[in-house]
Chain A
Amino acid sequence: MIYDAASFSTYRHDFPMMAATNRGKPLVFLDSAASAQKPLAVINAMQQFYSQQYANIHRGIYEISESASHQFEQTRETVRQFIGAKKAEEIIFVSGTTAGINFIANTLSLGSDNRQAFKAGDEVILTEMEHHANIVPWYLLAKRIGIRLRVVPINDEGELDLAVYQSFFNDKTKLVAVSHVSNVLGTINPIKTMAEMAHHHNVPILVDGAQAAPHLPLNVTQLDVDFYTFSAHKLYGPTGIGVLYINERFLHDLPPYQGGGNMIRTVSFDEVTFAKPPHCFEAGTPSIASVIGLHAAINYLSTIGMDNVRAHELELLDYAETQLKSHPEITIYGRAKEKVGLLSFTLGAVHPHDIGTILDHAGIAVRAGHHCAMPLMERFKVPAMVRIAFGIYNNTADIDHFFQACESIKGMFQ
């Protein structure tokens, strides 16, 4: 499918929230990197499931439970195709990206028959552009076990310094944990190269894909990563559900994470035997309707095509960057050659929170603050930034509204 701006613009009508208001004005939603709005296909799928098909999965011996289980497992297969995994059992449902990262931090660090547990002095490689979700779980391990965090710096454009990354590997390196796309800078990191370098040193790599999955065609097998995780709610799906991809080479090499129902084969007080992957990693009743919603979201995206989504967002980014040329008071953070459709900025000396409030008043929803990336704010010596982020439903009119509102900010604070 070749990208066509005119036909793409009709997708906006699939999102009921595009008719909503904010502060009494038509909503201009530029905060999709925080959470994306939902197409009717997702809303309807969940409503239909709850009103006509709902039952718990993997338990009931009745028809609707069987059918719910079938839909749930079909979603696993749909996710597999969407991210290019080899096997459906490599797909684990978790509550979101944060849960996915905590899952790996907690299981990988325990070790297995084939691998040593993390111990004091072991090293995990992170980067300066990580979201708190990919910093704090490792900090907790540093406090608990005494592992050392090695942080790959970025240049002023917001790109990783791969020479430093390369130099970090040694006998103590246990894992690389890196975001595919920065939620602040928009930088697309060279994951395939980074994975190759890590594997050269026999080190596995975990990728935080929260900001990549909604914007880029994805193939985890080609990237050759060990773990990849993302949330449904940024992917136009529901909250409370996400995916953790575990490469099959680790599937039988991680201890159970949480214990409970569904993840076992037999239980006595003396001995428990576990279900096979992926079920051994999914304790308790999952967010079933959210999985159904995720299925609908992926089907919706597949109809559009991720290449088209990418082309659309690049076009919006290009349009915004052209407009920026007549706004020298706006400073952009993140000038990487490979970027997704988002822009983080400051405007003169006006504090981002004031900018956020004035945009809010004009109906425009943006993120203003530290973006859960305090080390990155420190790196650029700013207390906060404002971010606009594009999604399927955005158009050039949204960007025009934004720049008009920037004019009124200038007027007020001059």
Chain B
Amino acid sequence: MSLRELYQEMILDHSKYPRNFGVLTHANHEHVGHNPLCGDKITIYLHEENGVIKAVQFEGSGCAISLASASLMTESIKGKTIAEFEALFSAFHVLVTEGKETIDLGKLDSLRGVSAFPVRVKCATLAWHTLKAALLQDRNPATTE
């Protein structure tokens, strides 16, 4: 695997210019996620209505993989139901751990290269774990541990 396959343009672009970045003022779910291994820390803001993700934003700092994953996630799940989010998370998890695309993941496929670097899976899934915890209204900070 070449380095360019891991750090694709899509990932570099989303890590430098993360989409949906910043506080969401009308959020009704909010959650902090922390990856103690590398110090990545993000907050997910979510506006959910009747089981549908109406709006999602995030802020925080982290490595290129974790920022790009968070940014791409927010783009992919807007307008989706919670069940659809969970199905997407499962498919994304298979992608970054096994390198297999079980359903069409669109731009998220750019994170496939993470599967060759097992220590970086936690970076790629931090935002997803955090969003899941936000939906569950879990009071503890989300972690990838």
Contacts and interface: CB of A to CB of B under 8 A. Distances in A.
Interface of A: 350-354, 357-358, 360-361, 368-370, 377, 383-384, 408, 412-413
B38 A352 contact: yes
Given A384-B38, A413-B12, 5 more contacts: A351-B38, A353-B65, A357-B6, A377-B39, A383-B38
Contact of A412 (B7, B39, B61, B63): B7
Nearest to A351: B63
B123 interface: yes
Q: Which of A350, A353, A377 has the largest count of B CB atoms less than 10 A from its CB?
A: A353
A351 B123 CA distance: 12
B38 A369 contact: yes
A413 B63 CA distance: 12
A24 B3 CA distance: 13
B65 A384 contact: no
B103 interface: no
8 tightest A-B CB contacts, nearest first: A383-B39, A351-B63, A353-B63, A353-B38, A384-B39, A354-B64, A354-B63, A361-B3
Nearest to B62: A351
Nearest to B123: A353
Contact of B41 (A352, A353, A383): A383
A377 B61 CA distance: 14
Contacts of A384: 38-39
A134 to B, nearest CB: 19
Given A354-B64, A383-B61, A413-B12, A370 B39 contact: yes
A360 B7 CA distance: 14
A369 B39 contact: yes
Contacts of A413: 12, 64
Interface of B: 3, 6-7, 12, 36-41, 61-65, 117, 120, 123
B3 A358 contact: yes
Contacts of A360: 117
Contact of B117 (A350, A357, A369, A412): A357
B120 A353 contact: yes
A354 B39 contact: no
B39 to A, nearest CB: 3
Contacts of A361: 3, 6
Contacts of B6: 357, 361
12 contacts: A350-B64, A353-B40, A353-B65, A354-B63, A354-B65, A360-B117, A370-B39, A383-B38, A383-B41, A384-B38, A412-B3, A413-B12
Contacts of B41: 383
Q: Which of A351, A384, A408 has the largest count of B CB atoms less than 10 A from its CB?
A: A351
Nearest to A360: B117
Contacts of A408: 3
B13 to A, nearest CB: 12
A351 B3 contact: no
Contacts of A370: 36, 38-39
Contacts of A358: 3, 7
A370 B64 CA distance: 17
Contacts of B65: 353-354
A357 B65 CA distance: 11
A350 B15 CA distance: 10
A357 B120 contact: yes
B15 to A, nearest CB: 8
Contacts of B123: 353
A354 B12 CA distance: 11
Nearest to A385: B39
Contacts of A354: 7, 63-65
A361 B36 CA distance: 23
Nearest to A358: B3
A352 B38 CA distance: 8
A351 B65 CA distance: 10
Contacts of B38: 351-353, 368-370, 383-384
Contacts of A353: 38, 40, 63, 65, 120, 123
Contacts of B62: 351, 383
Contacts of B7: 354, 358, 412
Q: Which of B7, B12, B41, B63 has the largest count of A CB atoms less than 10 A from its CB?
A: B63
Contacts of B61: 383
Nearest to B120: A357
Q: Which of B6, B38, B120 has the largest count of A CB atoms less than 10 A from its CB?
A: B38
Contacts of A369: 37-39
Contacts of B63: 351-354
A370 B37 CA distance: 7
A351 B37 CA distance: 13
A383 B12 contact: no
A131 to B, nearest CB: 16
Contacts of A368: 38
B1 to A, nearest CB: 8
Nearest to B6: A357
